[in-house]
Amino acid sequence: MALEGRLAALFGLDDEGWARHASPFSGWSRAITGLPALILPAVARVWIGWWAVLLALLCIAWLVLNPRLFAPPAHDRAWMTRGVLGERMWVERGQNGFPEAQGSLPTWLNVLSGLAFLVMAYGLVVLDWYAIVGGAAVSWAAKMLFIDRTRAIYDRVTARDPSQAYKAPV
């Protein structure tokens, strides 16, 4: 199993987990608050000292609980929903055999996002605002491009085989 599949299993992304994860409310709230929730406690340590650990735990709890807080989407019309559903197809590319999910661009976008995240993390350690903002911006942009590419995977797979389209849980 690829690294992405192991991470999905670690986060409990079974059928229901992926459906909840695909909620556009969940996806956009993570996209908007994810990096700030990691940046805030690291920077706040300067102002509030060890209380930043509590803030960090609250932020991590938000990121872990977020996909579980929202109901599965009723349909797959939202861009974010199709992106997350395509991400599942891409993560499970070894098992599903979809030729659309075999490209390497999503992998390279994840690598770029991860490297930029490391720049941001370095900036957080040394409190370098250029590294923090630059790393976060590139990481976020690469993640949004990743979601768009996995959305394209979903759109191509479901256009070719409509039986693969999302069906809302009953």
Angle between helices 105-126 and 24-48 (to 10 degrees): 20
Give residue 157's domain range.
3-164
Whether 89 is in a domain gets the answer: yes
Assign 27 a pLDDT band (cuts: 50, 70, 90). Answer: very high
**What local confidence, expressed as pLDDT, does residue 43 receive?**
95
Whether 169 is in a domain gets the answer: no
Whether 27 is in a domain gets the answer: yes
Whether 170 is in a domain gets the answer: no
Assign 139 a pLDDT band (cuts: 50, 70, 90). Answer: very high
What's this model's pTM, rounded to 2 decimal places?
0.89
